[in-house]
Chains A and B, each alone.
Chain A
């Protein structure tokens, strides 16, 4: 289990960060979900592979953060990403990719994961600002 200082406040009284995963159900996606579920500060509230279905579920679940896995390493938003951004105004979005450790944080600065706990830290930092 991974734990960082930035998450401690959320452990002490604050509710968990509610995360929705938008990605296929590939090996990487299931591994990612397992990793996020191990994080004490996070709660995975849903996982969807289809964008249309995801938009419906996101409107119901109102997650704090949407984690997206994409084949593209570039942070330049694709048409699908723009649809997701337009369909979820105000919700923070983090995009991962299979090619490298770059994390695209939409509406935020771009970052790079060096250790697994970085991802949870980035998610919490996005919301703590």
Chain B
């Protein structure tokens, strides 16, 4: 028989945390190695128990689950973190993914689903709650007329960042952008980092697609 999956629970909701621990204890292939009431306890217990998976709430006192996830993943990247929260806020989802979480689940999930997620995450898979996945897909599939609303939801780009983005769309390399704008290459990189951060995107290709779809390129060229 293989080793049980070692799980750390982090949630300030007493009944949820203890109830989940009781449910997990019914499975011989799972072992709850600790229960944390806030993010700081989660970090300390993660160091102490070296769990395979942490089931982490977001809204906790002293240190949020997102901050705890960020610190734990930085220190112990092999530990898998699955967020379990009541929040279906898209910013929380993106932030959790950026912090390194392997899963994002809403708390009203079925027990069977949690078991499936645990098994999958151990194998290296990633999971989103159905409602979250649907919201993200909807966000990416929105037609151009939805651009204004979405643009309002994110931090606006500066004029310089839009100029950089316009040159990215033209396929210019960082060195060429630096030359065109008479700035250093490292400044271009900083602008790109800020652009990706503000738009919640991963790379310049996604940024270019976004710029074209949102009409940011046209705005840049009209200047």
A79 at the interface (CB under 8 A from B): no
Q: Given A27-B114, A30-B23, A34-B23, does the pair A99, B15 have CB atoms closer than 8 Å?
A: no
Q: Measured between alpha carbons, how far is A66 from B113 in the docked complex, in Å? A: 27
Complex interface bits, B105-128 against A, C-beta within 8 A gives 1, otherwise 0: 001111101100000000000000
Q: Given A27-B20, A30-B23, A98-B86, does the pair A35, B110 have CB atoms closer than 8 Å?
A: no
Q: Measured between alpha carbons, how far is A38 from B26 in the docked complex, in Å? A: 14
B78 at the interface (CB under 8 A from A): no
Q: Given A98-B13, A101-B13, does the pair A26, B110 have CB atoms closer than 8 Å?
A: yes
| Cβ-defined contact, B22 with A35, below 8 A | yes
A6 at the interface (CB under 8 A from B): no
Q: Which residue of chain A has its CB nearest to the CB of B113?
A: A27
Q: Which residue of chain B has its CB nearest to the CB of A34?
A: B22
Q: Please, which residues of chain B bring their CB within 8 A of the CB of A34?
A: 19, 22-23, 26
- Interface majority SS (helix, strand, loop, mixed), chain B: helix
Chain B count of residues within 8 A CB distance of the other chain: 20
A126 at the interface (CB under 8 A from B): no
Q: Please, which residues of chain A bring their CB within 8 A of the CB of B13?
A: 98-101
Q: Measured between alpha carbons, how far is A113 from B17 in the docked complex, in Å? A: 12
Interface magnitude class on chain A:
20 to 34
Which of A53-61, A84-92, A114-122 lines the interface with chain B? A114-122
Q: Which residue of chain B has its CB nearest to the CB of A116?
A: B18
Q: Given A30-B23, A34-B23, does the pair A24, B18 have CB atoms closer than 8 Å?
A: no
| Cβ-defined contact, B19 with A28, below 8 A | yes
Q: Which residue of chain B has its CB nearest to the CB of A100?
A: B13
B209 at the interface (CB under 8 A from A): no
Q: Measured between alpha carbons, how far is A24 from B111 in the docked complex, in Å? A: 11
Q: Which residue of chain B has its CB nearest to the CB of A23?
A: B108
Q: Which residue of chain A has its CB nearest to the CB of B109?
A: A27
Report which of B12, B15, B22 forms a contact with A119, defined as CB distance below 8 A: B15
Q: Please, which residues of chain B bring their CB within 8 A of the CB of A38?
A: 22
B205 at the interface (CB under 8 A from A): no
| Cβ-defined contact, A113 with B15, below 8 A | yes
Q: Measured between alpha carbons, how far is A27 from B118 in the docked complex, in Å? A: 13
Minimum Cβ distance to chain B for residue A97 (Å): 9
B14 at the interface (CB under 8 A from A): yes
A26-B109, A34-B19, A71-B86 provided; 17 other pairs, C-beta below 8 A? A26-B110, A27-B23, A27-B109, A28-B15, A28-B108, A31-B21, A31-B23, A35-B22, A96-B15, A98-B13, A98-B108, A99-B13, A101-B14, A114-B14, A115-B14, A116-B15, A119-B15
Which of A's residues lie within 8 Å of B, judged by CB?
A: 24-28, 30-32, 34-35, 38, 71, 96, 98-101, 113-116, 118-119
Q: List 25 A-B contacts (CB under 8 A).
A: A24-B108, A25-B110, A26-B107, A26-B109, A26-B110, A27-B23, A27-B107, A27-B111, A28-B16, A28-B20, A28-B107, A30-B19, A30-B111, A31-B18, A32-B19, A34-B22, A34-B23, A35-B15, A35-B19, A71-B86, A98-B107, A98-B108, A99-B13, A100-B13, A101-B14
